[in-house]
Structure 1
Amino acid sequence: MKKNHYTFPFLLIIILFIVNNTVQAQTDTSEHVISGRHNATNQLKKPYVILVSADGFRYDYASRYHADNLLKLSADGVLAESMIPSFPSVTFPNHYTIATGMYPSHHGLVNNTFLDERTGERYSMSAKSKVRDGKWYGGVPLWVLAEEQNMISASMFWVGSEAAIKGIRPSYYYDYTEQISVDKRIEIIKNWLSLSEEKRPHLITFYLSEPDHAGHTYGPDAPQTEAAVKMVDSVINQLTKAIEPLGLPVNYIFVSDHGMTAVDRDHPIATPKAIDTAKYVIASSGTLMDIHSKNKQDTRPLYEILKSQEGTDYKAYLKTEMPAHFHYNATDDRLNRIGDILLIPEWPKVFSNRKPGIGHHGFDPLQVKDMHATFMAWGPAFKKHLKIPSFENVNVYPLITEILGLSYQHEIDGKIEVLKPILKDTRESKQRISDK
């Protein structure tokens, strides 16, 4: 048979084409604009909210690492002792909880990676096709609520903002990429707020991936993490300085999704040998092992074995018996995405079949305070020089809807009563002025 000398070069070209397209998909820096939208007349004079999240910015990082700009801005506004993330205290569930006011078990993003038993499909935060598919997202995120009421929104990254949820995306948004410099991101936000009233977004979400990366790699006590905190502090200073000359009533809410803790790297918990992968699917591990039974009759026998072995390494729960404070049991699991058996490691241990990394999150925030996140707020809507106790992150959603004057009829877990006291009472202020 005659040898085909063109086969290898042709295959190489195909491979390079695929790799190039994959890289381009991961580094797409173009702005997505939904044409034909504008602010309704009744939205034009509303205030503005920039919701900023610094991933993994633990509740004590600002004071511990002298984030002077954030401390100064929050001292002129509102500072919480901490913000309590929802369980599990990981990135995707909690960013989407902040955006929807719902616990993860209610909005459907029950972990960074999970199994949907109804379809047999897996969701993963690293799978772009899943991240951008609106079918995975329940609830009504803030940008969808705003757009439904003809208020323009924009997103410089946020979990869910790349997907068409209820068929709606923000009017302006970017697919997540680290290829856009921080200076450019700030310039984009300033440009959005420099648009005409009809096109100007009143809600902007802005996500920063640090200090989470540093915390995972070096641990929360490392100088690299301190440097990442100071970088975030500098970014917030740049952002506020860039927006200030516009003279707009901009309110800033600075949050994080979770904290960070150092774990026991020398004594990881190996995957229990009793878990037969022919019978069970492990959807996630690390700080929460989520086990689905292929045949539900096999759930109880495995649970009893794991329960007898739990000791000081982990606690074993049936989904039907998860303690109420987790909001993560069979009753809460509205989309059937939580495993039948849940193994929760005892801090500071984690599940791993090799030596784990230094920094982790995902633990029960009511047991491990290192999981607590940050909440700061300042701007014309907020009272000044106010410190408040810790609160759950589901309450950020009704706070923002109150500031922007957005109404909603659907059920959420957050309560406006929790954070309304941090807002200036404009009605009382107007009444005092008229009385004079």
Structure 2
Amino acid sequence: MRLELFLLVAVVLGAAGKPLSKAAARNKLLLISFDGFRWDYDQDVDTPNLDQLAVDGVKAKYLTPPMLTMTAPSHFTTITGRWVEDHNVVHNLMYNTTTNIKLPFKQTMGRSEWWDNGVLPLWITAQNQGLRTASFHYPGGGATYRGQAVDRALLEEFDHPDDNETEWRQNIDLVLSWFSEEDFDLVTLYYGEPDNVGHRKGPDHPDRKTIIEQIDRTIGYLRTGMDRHQLTHSLNVIITSDHGMTTVKKRPQVDEIILNDYIKLSSVSSFEILDYGGFGILEPKPGKEQEMVDALRKAPNLTVYRKNEMPESFHLGRSQRLPSVVVVADLGFNLNSRLILYINKGDHGFHSGEMDMKTIFRAFGPDFRKNLLFEPFDSIHIYPLMCKLLQIQPEAHNGSLAVTEDMLQLGGASHRASQSVLLLLLSMLLLLTML
């Protein structure tokens, strides 16, 4: 009897020493971002492929982006795991408060001096540890960091169309070929929708629903492409976004915020970006800060902050690049500095705590658990998850793997299950000693 128990313990110990899911070499990772995909956009549209992802992988109830809820700052938080005040990409526009330069979003994409602030993005960290990485239109991918470029980077042209479904599929084909034929380990892929249609038509317009259906077909095309390229068992995929979208409040329903009605901006401000969604920045002229703050605080539906007095939860106040005064409009109220020229029907840039600013998270692949509905979490935590998947040592970051590790086959719950097995074995060994 004792011999049989010893043999049983030996067999179970051998099994417990192995991962509970099938051990494999390092799998590849594809990160896809659909700009402006609000957390609930798939709830009023038929999305069979997104629905299937919830069965075949992980779906978070929603994802909270950082303050700022803008494309460039949020994407760079995802790829660095750092708060905006640390990576200092504090706007979609490259600007200089001294020279008053303001470069459009797509021109900013290729300017390394805007992105390279001492924080290394995942592409560079992975390359420095022997991996091959690529960026396909992803914000920050076209810059150099400490003189080092991403192995392969494609930038969008200024007039690049956002909604061409044929091109979307071609992008998928090209990226999958990078994995299957050129042995890339990490690729980040960016699509400009549904942000574009959300701005032009508003989040409740039928055209937004049409784009979500197109995104769903693209995800289906991705999955059949993974089969075709024999990547289904070696490629992990994370699908996410940078921010949500809300309907812009306009006359005659509301009075729009015209800041020049409360103070003559030209007399107190040396620099400003105020006609860009719900988030504005100003640099007061010397000695004019108090006058500026007092006057703007009289405007309705607007919160005015000195940079050094912003809530710690914003993770913005220590930024060296952010100007001295920040204004944040209430949800749906867009900022107008002097004239009402704002034509967007939908926008973002509002407080990240607003549900309309929340976004999506889906993940599937060999390292992810299946049929798992995950609690909401902050996008800052995606970075350590990606490092875990790529089996690389992360840079210093503000996220935590503990938040997301229960998504993984080899982490979290499975690790605790292994510990439970070992405890059972110890109990059996104790029993043997008593026989």
Do they superpose with TM above 0.5?
Answer: yes
1:413 aligns with 2:368: no
Q: Superposed, which structure 2 residues align to 1:34-433 within 5 Å?
A: 45-113=25-93, 115-117=95-97, 120=99, 122=101, 124-126=103-105, 128=107, 130-137=108-115, 138=117, 139-177=119-157, 178=160, 181-195=167-181, 199-248=182-231, 249-266=234-251, 267-273=255-261, 274-280=263-269, 281-285=271-275, 286-295=277-286, 297-307=287-297, 309-310=298-299, 312-329=300-317, 332-333=318-319, 336-352=320-336, 353-354=339-340, 355-366=342-353, 368-408=354-394, 410-425=395-410, 428=415
Deviation at 1:121, TM superposition (A): 6.0
Is residue 268–residue 356 contact of structure 1 (8 Å, CA) maintained in 2?
no
Is residue 246–residue 331 contact of structure 2 (8 Å, CA) maintained in 1?
no
Is residue 265–residue 357 contact of structure 1 (8 Å, CA) maintained in 2?
no
For residues 240-294 of structure 1, the C-alpha deviation after alignment (integer angstroms, 9 at most, x for no partner) is 2111233331111000111111021213211234143254111343311211123
Q: Equivalents in 2 of 1:416, 1:173: separation in Å?
A: 28
For residues 159-203 of structure 1, the C-alpha deviation after alignment (integer angstroms, 9 at most, x for no partner) is 0111112222222221124368122212211221222xxx41110
For residues 8-27 of structure 1, the C-alpha deviation after alignment (integer angstroms, 9 at most, x for no partner) is xxxxxxxxxxxxxxxxxxxx
Larger radius of gyration: 2
Deviation at 1:94, TM superposition (A): 0.7
Is residue 113–residue 125 contact of structure 1 (8 Å, CA) maintained in 2?
yes
Is residue 87–residue 104 contact of structure 1 (8 Å, CA) maintained in 2?
yes
Deviation at 1:305, TM superposition (A): 2.1
Match in the other structure for 1:23: none
Q: Equivalents in 2 of 1:284, 1:101: separation in Å?
A: 28
- TM-score, length basis structure 1: 0.81
Where 2:328 maps in the other structure, the secondary structure is: strand
Q: Equivalents in 2 of 1:154, 1:356: separation in Å?
A: 35
Q: Equivalents in 1 of 2:52, 2:198: separation in Å?
A: 24
Deviation at 1:105, TM superposition (A): 1.8
How many pairs does the alignment contain?
Answer: 377
Q: Superposed, which structure 2 residues align to 1:16-35 within 5 Å?
A: none
For residues 275-334 of structure 1, the C-alpha deviation after alignment (integer angstroms, 9 at most, x for no partner) is 432541113433112111232x22122212222x13x321111111111221122xx21x
Deviation at 1:342, TM superposition (A): 1.5
Q: Equivalents in 2 of 1:125, 1:255: separation in Å?
A: 24
- TM-score, length basis structure 2: 0.81
For residues 103-149 of structure 1, the C-alpha deviation after alignment (integer angstroms, 9 at most, x for no partner) is 122111111125445x6464534352x42122222321111111111
Which portions of structure 1, spanning 4 or more consecutive aligned residues, are displaced by more than 6 angstroms?
429-433
Q: In structure 1, give the amino acid aligned to 2:113.
A: K
Superposed CA RMSD: 2.3
Q: After alignment, is 336-345 or 414-423 more displaced?
A: 336-345
Q: Equivalents in 1 of 2:42, 2:104: separation in Å?
A: 28
Q: Equivalents in 2 of 1:275, 1:105: separation in Å?
A: 30
- The percent identity for this pair of structures is 26
Q: Equivalents in 2 of 1:401, 1:98: separation in Å?
A: 12
Q: In structure 2, give the amino acid aligned to 1:403.
A: L
Could you tell me which runs of 5 or more consecutive residues in structure 1 were left unpaired when the two chains were aligned.
1-43
Q: Equivalents in 2 of 1:246, 1:80: separation in Å?
A: 28
Q: After alignment, is 51-60 or 138-147 more displaced?
A: 138-147
Deviation at 1:67, TM superposition (A): 1.9
Could you tell me which runs of 5 or more consecutive residues in structure 2 were left unpaired when the two chains were aligned.
1-23, 426-435
Q: Equivalents in 1 of 2:37, 2:266: separation in Å?
A: 36
Match in the other structure for 1:40: none
Q: Equivalents in 1 of 2:205, 2:45: separation in Å?
A: 11
Is residue 383–residue 422 contact of structure 1 (8 Å, CA) maintained in 2?
yes
Q: Equivalents in 2 of 1:165, 1:115: separation in Å?
A: 19
Q: Equivalents in 2 of 1:351, 1:405: separation in Å?
A: 44
Deviation at 1:57, TM superposition (A): 0.7
